[in-house]
């Protein structure tokens, strides 16, 4: 085993993953170091991909962002930052044209280019091609003041980085039904743009898309456009795609102050707020896209050539793959009637799930406090509560259960990383104990 961690080489922060959240943190560290050279923060981010990439398989050419460009990597934290989306546009010589466009919602491909532009300016903080496999507490005289972050590169070589603080920002994982078996014909929509070219060359007869949310509707529209000779079948349990609630009052759930309210609320109120406002983000579709798909479906009814087959109030109950096709049994829920569809591909637009931080932490999970549901207890400053003998910090980006809907979204990213950096620099504020914490006060590391 090789090691980067010598006793005198300890990073202030080691970030795991380098998606938009940890990219925003790298920018915050860069700007802090530029303004306060007397108090620099030594940060390193480990990313398993060979270069920056944010859901590249979902970068449909005409798909737009669902959040305002002002909720970029920095503006909500520091409107004067030169890492803003507007500064990116100026650098790309498109600022005037964007203003004339009169939109708050850029193309998703453009926002990805903005992320890459920002990531290229902080490459000194990133090690690509490094997959973190575990985190180990380092105990000296009964105190855990550091963590060793173990990573492997593309050749399987192991390296170790020692950290005073670990920041987990690994994003979300594709969610598939329990009985779905991924293959060349069965895949999650996160692979859409990687697969659509080969799919078009195979001249498929029918493609099935499962899911009623934004990504499902986008997949249906893209496949319907890219495969002009193919029937595109959409299956979901509702009678139609549900519109997203992006009204001004509902959007307050994404305000920074809403995180304060959510974090301090009881478990019952937290669940109530999540349930009330899921239609701002989950299983909902932009109204423009809903209307476009309806126009396409109606146009095909008029012309008599039906390629867009939307199966409402239905569900896929069983799939069987052969060498030639995937056979999907679709049930119409009101009557229970079933039909077997022969498909060349089945695309599951069934959303995402948060990564389990305890799986990633390995032995370090033993020093973390858990709530009654077995989830990490996370302070308002995003620091995971640990045993009394642990002075090193573990911070978590993406803790929806403790910080609400914004925890996994771009809306509060800039503010969130500012709060985390402030906690790293000045310490975690005292908080009242959480009930039903399943951990002793001191943990010895064997």
Model pLDDT, residue 435? 38
- State yes or no: pLDDT of 431 exceeds 80: no
Residue 193 DSSP SS3: helix
- Sign of the C-alpha dihedral, residues 295, 301, 302, 307? positive
pLDDT digits (tens, 9 = 90+) for 17-74: 999 999 999 999 999 999 999 999 999 999 999 999 999 999 999 999 999 999 999 9
Among 182-191, 235-244, 334-343, 398-407, the minimum mean pLDDT is found in 398-407
pLDDT at 413: 96
Question: Does 370 lie in the same domain as 345?
Answer: no
Angle at the Cα of 382 from the Cα atoms of 379 and 383, rounded to 5 degrees? 70
Question: What's the whole-number average pLDDT of the chain?
Answer: 92
Is residue 212 domain-resident? yes
**344 and 404 belong to one structural domain:** no
Same domain, 79 and 155: yes
Last residue in a domain, options 301, 327, 352 = 352
pLDDT tens digits along 284-332: 999 999 999 999 999 999 999 999 999 999 999 999 999 999 999 999 9
Q: Where are the alpha helices (DSSP H) in 254-346?
A: 256-264, 267-276, 287-303
Q: Which stretch of DSSP H or E encloses residue 214?
A: helix 214-226
Q: How far is CA 405 from CA 11, 27, 105, 396, in A?
A: 31, 23, 20, 14
| Residue 2 pLDDT | 46
> Does 3 have pLDDT greater than 60?
no
**In contact, 177 and 346? CB cutoff 8 Å:** no
Is the pLDDT at 184 greater than 70? The verdict is yes
Q: Of 352, 380, 404, which closes a domain?
A: 352
φ, ψ at 332 (rounded to 5°): -85, 110
- pLDDT at residue number 93: 98
Cα 371–Cα 376–Cα 382 angle in degrees, nearest 5: 125
Indicate whether 7 pLDDT > 50. Answer: no
What count of other Cβ atoms lies within 10 Å of the Cβ of residue 145?
16
Count the domains in the chain. 2
Please tell me whether residues 341 and 425 are part of one structural domain: no
Give the CB-side neighbour count of residue 318, counting CA atoms within 13 A.
5
The whole-angstrom separation of Cα 439 and Cα 246 is 41
- The DSSP secondary-structure symbol of 242 reads P
Query: 435 versus 385: which is more confidently predicted?
Result: 385
Residue with tokens 């229970």: 336
Residue 274 pLDDT more than 90?
no
With respect to residue 249, please indicate whether it lies within any of the assigned structural domains.
Answer: no
* Domain match, 339 and 402 both: no
CATH number at 318 reads 3.50.50.60
Lookup: tokens for 264: 């301090």
Same domain for 89 and 100, yes or no, is yes
Last residue of a domain, one of 330, 352, 374: 352
The gap from C-alpha 218 to its chain's centroid, in whole angstroms, comes to 17
In a domain, 445, yes or no: no
Statement: residue 433 has pLDDT above 70: no
- With a CB cutoff of 8 Å and minimum separation 6, the contacts of 94 are none
- Same domain for 191 and 294, yes or no, is yes
Which tokens is 335 given? 């009557």
Crossing angle of helices 413-426 and 20-35, rounded to 10°? 50
Regarding whether 220 and 139 lie in a shared domain, the answer is no
Q: Which residues constitute the domain of residue 296?
A: 174-244+282-352
Q: Is the pTM higher than 0.75?
A: yes
The pLDDT score that the predictor gives to residue 429 is: 56
For residue 263, what pLDDT is reported? 93
**Would you tell me the crossing angle of helices 108-120 and 20-35 to the nearest 10 degrees?**
40
**379 with 421, same domain?**
yes
Q: Does residue 277 sit within a domain?
A: no
Report the pLDDT value the prediction gives residue 442, as an integer from 0 to 100: 42
Q: Does 304 share its domain with 380? A: no
* In the chain, % of residues over pLDDT 70: 94
pLDDT band at 437, cuts 50/70/90? very low
* Same-domain pairing of 27 and 94: yes
Is residue 241 within 8 Å of 290, Cβ to Cβ?
yes
Assess if residue 264 is contained within a domain. Answer: no
Q: Write out the two tokens for 261.
A: 């309210």
Q: How far is C-alpha 151 from the chain's CA centre?
A: 21
> How much is the pLDDT for 428?
64
- For residue 440, pLDDT beyond 60: no
Q: In this structure, are 89 and 200 located in the same domain?
A: no
Residue whose C-alpha is closest to residue 399's, from 242, 241, 263: 263
Each residue's pLDDT tens digit, 88-113: 999 999 999 999 999 999 999 999 99
For tokens 């990439």, what's the residue? Answer: 53
Q: Is the pLDDT of residue 6 over 60?
A: no
């Amino acid at each position: 085993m090789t090691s980067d961690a010598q006793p005198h080489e300890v990073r202030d922060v080691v970030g795991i993953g380098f998606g938009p959240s940890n990219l925003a943190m790298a920018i915050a560290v860069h700007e802090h170091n530029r303004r306060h050279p007397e108090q620099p923060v030594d940060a390193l981010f480990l990313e398993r991909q060979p270069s920056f990439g944010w859901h590249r398989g979902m970068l449909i050419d005409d798909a737009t962002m669902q959040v305002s460009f002002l909720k970029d990597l920095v503006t909500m934290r520091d409107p004067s930052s030169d890492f803003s989306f507007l500064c990116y546009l100026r650098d790309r010589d498109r600022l005037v044209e964007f203003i004339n466009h009169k939109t708050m919602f850029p193309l998703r491909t453009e926002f990805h280019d903005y992320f890459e532009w920002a990531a290229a300016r902080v490459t000194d903080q990133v090690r690509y091609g490094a997959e973190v496999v575990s985190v180990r507490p380092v105990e000296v005289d009964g105190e855990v003041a550091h963590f060793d972050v173990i990573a492997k590169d593309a050749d399987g070589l192991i390296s170790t980085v020692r950290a005073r603080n670990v920041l987990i920002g690994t994003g979300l994982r594709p969610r598939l039904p329990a009985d779905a078996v991924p293959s060349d014909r069965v895949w999650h929509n996160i692979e859409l743009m990687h697969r659509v070219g080969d799919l078009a060359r195979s001249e498929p007869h029918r493609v099935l898309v499962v899911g009623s949310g934004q990504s499902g509707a986008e997949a249906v529209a893209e496949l319907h456009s890219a495969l002009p000779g193919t029937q595109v079948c959409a299956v979901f349990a509702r009678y139609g795609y549900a519109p997203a609630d992006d009204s001004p009052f509902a959007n307050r759930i994404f305000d920074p102050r809403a995180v304060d309210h959510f974090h301090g609320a009881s478990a019952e109120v937290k669940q109530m707020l999540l349930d009330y406002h899921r239609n701002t983000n989950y299983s909902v579709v932009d109204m423009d896209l809903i209307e476009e798909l309806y126009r396409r479906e109606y146009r095909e009814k008029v012309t008599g050539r039906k390629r867009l087959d939307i199966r409402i109030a239905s569900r896929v109950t069983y799939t069987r793959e052969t060498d030639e096709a995937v056979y999907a049994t679709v049930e119409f829920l009101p009557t229970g009637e079933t039909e077997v569809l022969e498909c060349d591909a089945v695309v599951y637009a069934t959303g995402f799930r948060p990564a389990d931080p305890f799986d990633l932490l390995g032995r370090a999970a033993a020093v973390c406090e858990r709530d009654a549901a077995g989830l990490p207890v996370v302070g308002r400053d995003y620091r995971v509560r640990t045993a009394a003998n642990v002075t090193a910090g573990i911070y978590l980006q993406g803790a929806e259960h403790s910080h609400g809907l914004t925890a996994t979204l771009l809306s509060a990213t800039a503010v969130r990383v500012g709060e985390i950096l402030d906690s790293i620099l000045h310490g975690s504020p005292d908080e009242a104990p959480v009930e039903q914490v399943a951990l002793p006060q001191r943990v010895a590391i064997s």
